Amino acid sequence: MKKNLIRVLTALLTIVLILSMGTVAFAAPVAGKDTAPLSTPIDATDYSEIARNKARRANEVEQQGFGGLRKATPEQVARSENQMKTLTQEQISQLQAKGKLETAFRALAEAQGLSFAELAEEQGLPVDFFISKKTIPSTYSVASQNILRAPPSWISLSPFYYYAQGQSYSCLAAGVRMTLRWINGTAPTENVVMNACDISYWSGGGMLEDAVDYINNMQNAQDYLCVYTASLNTMKNHLYYTIAGVDLPALIGVYEDAAGTGIWPYDLASHNVTVYAIADNKTGVNVCDPYAGYMDEDDNRWYYVSAGDLHVAYEAAYSGYAW
Farthest CA pair distance, the chain:
91
pLDDT at 120: 79
Mean pLDDT, rounded, for 290-311: 94
Query: Which range in 38-42, 111-115, 128-132 is most confidently predicted, on average pLDDT?
Result: 111-115
- Tell me how far apart the alpha carbons of residues 287 and 307 are, in angstroms, rounded to a whole number: 11
**pTM for this structure?**
0.79
The pLDDT, as a whole number, for residue 109 is: 87
CA dist 258 → 171, 240, 311, 312 (Å): 18, 24, 10, 7
Amino acid at 58: A
Domains parsed from the chain with CATH numbers: 43-57+64-84+153-322 (3.90.70.10)
Task: Say if CB 271 and CB 254 are below 8 A apart.
Answer: yes
- Tell me the pLDDT band of 115, cut-offs 50, 70 and 90: confident
What's the length of the chain? 323
25: phi > 0 → left, psi -120 to 50 → alpha, else beta; which? Answer: alpha
- Mean pLDDT for all residues in the chain: 81
Q: What is the pLDDT of residue 261?
A: 76
- The gap from C-alpha 247 to its chain's centroid, in whole angstroms, comes to 12
Does residue 15 carry a pLDDT above 80? no
The per-residue pLDDT for range 216-271, each reduced to its tens digit, is: 999 988 899 999 999 999 999 999 999 999 999 999 999 988 767 788 999 898 89
Q: What's the mean pLDDT in 97-116?
A: 86
What lies within 8 Å, CB to CB, of 293 at 6+ separation is: 43, 45, 47, 50, 162, 163, 164, 165, 174, 301
- Alpha-carbon distance of 180 to 160, in angstroms, equals 11
**Tens digits of per-residue pLDDT, 177-218?**
999 999 999 999 999 999 999 999 888 899 999 999 999 999
Q: Is the distance from CB of 175 to CB of 67 less than 8 angstroms?
A: no
